[in-house]
């Protein structure tokens, strides 16, 4: 059986390889020793309600 080429590999395998390479680069740059903070991406599934002041109604 022939070795699988990049087109025959699954997306998961390629993603795993890319993540591993990115992590190795981050380790080399010192990102994992506590000097850098990761950016926190807000969850888009929840919507924030706008803050309202207490408004007195005129009768």
**Residue 50: predicted pLDDT:** 79
Residues 6/14, Cβ–Cβ less than 8 Å: yes
User: What are the extents of the domains in the chain?
Assistant: 9-43
Q: Which residue has the tokens 């993540």?
A: 19
Residue 32: CB partners within 8 Å, gap ≥ 6?
26
The whole-number pLDDT of residue 39 equals: 77
Q: What is the pLDDT of residue 16?
A: 92
Q: How many C-beta atoms lie closer than 10 Å to residue 51's C-beta? A: 5
Res 17: pLDDT:
92
Q: How far apart are CA 59 and CA 55, in angstroms?
A: 13
Residues of the chain with pLDDT under 50: none
């Amino acid at each position: 059986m022939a070795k699988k080429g990049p087109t025959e590999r699954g997306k998961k395998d390629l993603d795993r390889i890319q993540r591993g390479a990115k992590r190795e680069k981050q380790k080399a740059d010192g990102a994992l020793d506590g000097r850098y903070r990761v950016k926190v991406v807000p969850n888009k599934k929840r919507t924030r309600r706008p803050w309202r002041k207490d408004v007195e109604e005129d009768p």
